[in-house]
Amino acid sequence: MWKEECFLQNANYWNAALVTLFSLALSLMVYKAWRSSTCKKGEVPGKLWLPCLGETLAFLSATNSTKGCYEFVRKRRAWYGRWFKTRLFGKIHIYIPSPEGAKTVLTNDFIKFNKGYVKSMGDAVGKRSLLTVPHESHRRIRRLLSDPFSLCSLSKFVQKLDMMLLERLKSLEEKGGSFLVLDFCMKVTFDSMCDMLISVTDTKVLQDIEQKCNDVSNMMLSFPAMIPGSRYYKGMKARKQLMQIFREMIARRRSGMERRDDFLQAMLQRDSLPEDEKLSDEEIMDNLLTLVIAGQSTTAAAMMWSVKFLDGNRHAQERLREEQLSITGSKPEGALLAMEDLNSMTYGLKVVKETLRMSNVLLWFPRVVTENCVIEGFELKKGWHVNVDATQIHYDPSFYKDPSEFNPSRFDASFSDHLLQFSLPTLLN
């Protein structure tokens, strides 16, 4: 009996000690969260909430809602002003809303700022992807990846794409009825990327690779934990299978069983060159996946938005049609589009720019601060994540009059724009 009482008493002490410790820890966290919400001079407004978790759940819930993850940013900007901070996936994030801030960050890439993709994104594309490698490897990989995109191979690609679009649009016309523009664009961009990069054209193989790439894309903004059934888990599994497909493809090419005129072949032709003049197999595989994923949904989304915007602006649609018809009219009957024709599409280029401004296919550009610095009076600490908010800049009425209006002519020659340009042109330089 005495022994039992003693044991109960001890257990009570332990419980009391645990409750006290837990309350102390909780109070400390709440105090820290409260402190983070009160702003000193030079401090970016916003709340960090609890360490590790911060506002991750609110961000993920916005990402999975019909409004999309930018709703998270929009709400905080309404609460705290143009500049705000938050804590996501355990890291402090600052959203940069101005062209000056954007310029400071983007012109200091790899100097004061490094690429800062969230863990799930980095895991999706792999450690040797252009999106994740450190500066030293980035320059080399980018140079070697750009090499096969010569004007000659691009010219062939333009023709192939033109032919594919003509065939598919014709078949849609023959079938009649309606179709989903985004699905159509996703299929066209995926199939043409796979053709250009790895010469895969078989429908079944394409479907299989596309399903796996979709799983990888879906894990990009997910919670990075291997919980069976989660988006992250499915994506990591699909990534492993894709790597195996690429590995087998490389082996077939090396053994001489298969030889194609494509991007992968161009990479393998460097096998006998010194180390810094070629990519390792892991670098090739991670970057094949990166190119497909970075290229497909971005291009498809831009194509879809251009259809939507042009549908809402008859005048722009007519001007674009006139320009296209005059280019077709100047070519022999049935001739395919050539690289040089792209230079004649002056209005077409403005339509692309205006579409990219309004659609913000990439909502923000993520970077990590590598040394303490100050931008527009706000102190940014080493290790913080800064997101150059393209969406906010592209809709700022002080730079773009009537920003919600689709007006390609705003990009007439004299207009000095703040458009955060997309990647392909720079990738090819």
The binder of ligand HEM chosen from 182, 206, 361, 368 (CB under 6 A): 361
Cα–Cα dist 53/90, whole Å: 6
At residue 295, the 3 state secondary structure works out as: helix
Using rule CB under 6 A, residue 213 touches ligand HEM: no
Q: Determine the interface stretch with ligand HEM among 204-212, 264-272, 328-336, 361-369 (rule: CB under 6 A).
A: 361-369
- Please identify, using beta-carbon distances, which residue of 327 and 352 lies nearer to ligand HEM: 352
Q: How many CA atoms lie within 13 A of 233 on its CB side?
A: 6
Using rule CB under 6 A, residue 297 touches ligand HEM: no
Using rule CB under 6 A, residue 131 touches ligand HEM: yes
- Please identify, using beta-carbon distances, which residue of 48 and 220 lies nearer to ligand HEM: 220
The binder of ligand HEM chosen from 28, 205, 424, 428 (CB under 6 A): 424
Using rule CB under 6 A, residue 125 touches ligand HEM: no
Cα–Cα dist 250/230, whole Å: 30
- Please identify, using beta-carbon distances, which residue of 50 and 427 lies nearer to ligand HEM: 427
Q: How far is the CB of 144 from ligand HEM (least distance, A)?
A: 12
Q: What phi-psi label fits residue 256: left (phi over 0), alpha (psi between -120 and 50 degrees) or beta? A: left
User: What would you report as the CA-atom Rg of the chain, rounded to the nearest whole angstrom?
Assistant: 26
Task: Measure CA of the first residue to CA of the last residue in the chain; give whole Å.
Answer: 85
Using rule CB under 6 A, residue 298 touches ligand HEM: yes
Amino acid of residue 139: R
The binder of ligand HEM chosen from 48, 209, 236, 291 (CB under 6 A): 291
Q: Determine the interface stretch with ligand HEM among 37-45, 265-273, 296-304, 309-317 (rule: CB under 6 A).
A: 296-304
- Please identify, using beta-carbon distances, which residue of 48 and 294 lies nearer to ligand HEM: 294
Q: Nearest 10 degrees: CA dihedral of 83, 86, 89, 93?
A: 30
Q: Determine the interface stretch with ligand HEM among 167-175, 219-227, 298-306, 330-338 (rule: CB under 6 A).
A: 298-306
Using rule CB under 6 A, residue 363 touches ligand HEM: no
Q: How far is the CB of 292 from ligand HEM (least distance, A)?
A: 8
Q: Determine the interface stretch with ligand HEM among 82-90, 172-180, 401-409, 416-424 (rule: CB under 6 A).
A: 416-424
Q: Determine the interface stretch with ligand HEM among 41-49, 240-248, 292-300, 370-378 (rule: CB under 6 A).
A: 292-300
Using rule CB under 6 A, residue 142 touches ligand HEM: yes
Using rule CB under 6 A, residue 88 touches ligand HEM: no
Q: Determine the interface stretch with ligand HEM among 61-69, 210-218, 354-362, 394-402 (rule: CB under 6 A).
A: 354-362
Using rule CB under 6 A, residue 365 touches ligand HEM: yes
How many residues make up the chain in this entry?
Answer: 429
Site for ligand HEM (CB under 6 A): how many residues? 18
Amino acid of residue 369: V
User: Would you list the DSSP string of 365-421?
Assistant: EEEEESS-EEETTEEE-TT-EEEE-HHHHHT-TTTSSSTTS--GGGGSTT-------
Looking up tokens 């913080």 gives 384
Q: How far is the CB of 257 from ligand HEM (least distance, A)?
A: 27
Kind of pairing between the strands at 373-375 and 378-380: antiparallel
Q: Determine the interface stretch with ligand HEM among 3-11, 170-178, 288-296, 328-336 (rule: CB under 6 A).
A: 288-296
Percent of the chain that is helix, strand, coil (3-state, to 5)? 60, 5, 35
Cα–Cα dist 401/411, whole Å: 12
Q: How far is the CB of 239 from ligand HEM (least distance, A)?
A: 17
At residue 126, the 3 state secondary structure works out as: coil
Q: Determine the interface stretch with ligand HEM among 79-87, 118-126, 202-210, 417-425 (rule: CB under 6 A).
A: 417-425
Nearest to 50 by CA among 84, 104, 88, 103: 88
Per the CB < 8 A criterion, the answer to whether 93 and 384 are in contact is yes
Nearest to 201 by CA among 269, 261, 284: 261
- Please identify, using beta-carbon distances, which residue of 33 and 158 lies nearer to ligand HEM: 158
Positions that interact with ligand HEM (CB under 6 A): 130-131, 142, 290-291, 294-295, 298-299, 302, 356, 361-362, 365, 422-424, 427
